[in-house]
Amino acid sequence: MRIGRLPVTEQLEALREVLTRNEALTEVLSRAATLDLPGWYLTAGCVVQTVWNVVTDRPPARAIKDYDLFYFDDSDLGWDAENEVIRAAADTFRDVPVDVEVRNEARVHLWYEDHFGVPCPPHTSTEAAIDSFAATTCCVGVRLERGDRWRVYAPHGLADVFNLVVRPNPVLAPRGVYEAKTKRWLEHWPELTVLPWPGPGVTYGPR
């Protein structure tokens, strides 16, 4: 039976088993926990692409561009505060051979429109930021909590991740962002089923 058709509890167990095959990812998770960042998650591409690699019998870390480490701290929205965290993280991950991108999701609304051409309402949490990713399939975050307990945030479930289905999430990111990302993904994972950006009156439900 395909993992994407298993009960949710078993999918969660499978996710952890799959992700632990990516040694870089588990090392980033372990070190990220020491930073004690509020509301942090390792999220998006590095998580789902590890699954895609394992499901398609590729090396677990293949073609992963970077490792997104998001946190949420609205106590100081200045760049200097975020940059201080980025510098601390750079020291923490200095000998990990991957690119770890650290971002305070409380500040996204300050720069999002300049980068993507559409305004972004202020996020209220890291989870809210994950909810706005261009593809629902990528709306997954994981972190380590006390006692090495894994916390998984996956508002759209995990079936699409394991079934190699990429589903658009037209709540914030524009169509061009989704199409640029999926074009790159298909170059590395041609087994993906990429659903098109919905036209007027078209919505996608769970598969």
pLDDT of residue 207: 44
Domain-located, residue 106? yes
Q: How many structural domains compose the chain?
A: 1
Domain-located, residue 201? no
Q: Report yes or no: 52 and 193 within 8 Å, Cβ to Cβ.
A: no
Domain-located, residue 70? yes
Q: Which domain holds residue 138?
A: 3-194
pLDDT of residue 148: 81
The per-residue b/e assignment along 63-98, b for 16 or more CB within 10 angstroms, e otherwise, is ebeebbbbbbbeeeeeeeebeebbeebeebbeeeeb
116 Cβ neighbours under 8 A, 6+ residues apart: 173, 174, 177
C-alpha–C-alpha distance, residues 187 and 152, integer Å: 28
pLDDT of residue 36: 93
pLDDT of residue 146: 83
Domain-located, residue 10? yes
Looking at residue 102, its amino acid is: V
Domain-located, residue 67? yes
Q: Is the pTM of this model over 0.75?
A: yes
Closest CA relative to residue 166, chosen from 179, 154, 176: 179
Domain-located, residue 204? no
Residues 75-129 have pLDDT tens digits of 999 999 999 999 999 999 999 999 999 999 999 999 999 999 999 999 999 999 9
Domain-located, residue 203? no
pLDDT tens series, the chain, 207 aa? 466 566 677 888 999 999 999 999 999 999 999 999 999 999 999 999 999 999 999 999 999 999 999 999 999 999 999 999 999 999 999 999 999 999 999 999 999 999 999 999 999 999 999 999 999 999 999 999 987 889 999 999 999 999 999 999 999 999 999 999 999 999 999 999 999 999 865 455 544
pLDDT of residue 9: 74
Q: What is the DSSP string of 18-51?
A: HHTT-HHHHHHHHHHHHH--TT-EEETHHHHHHH
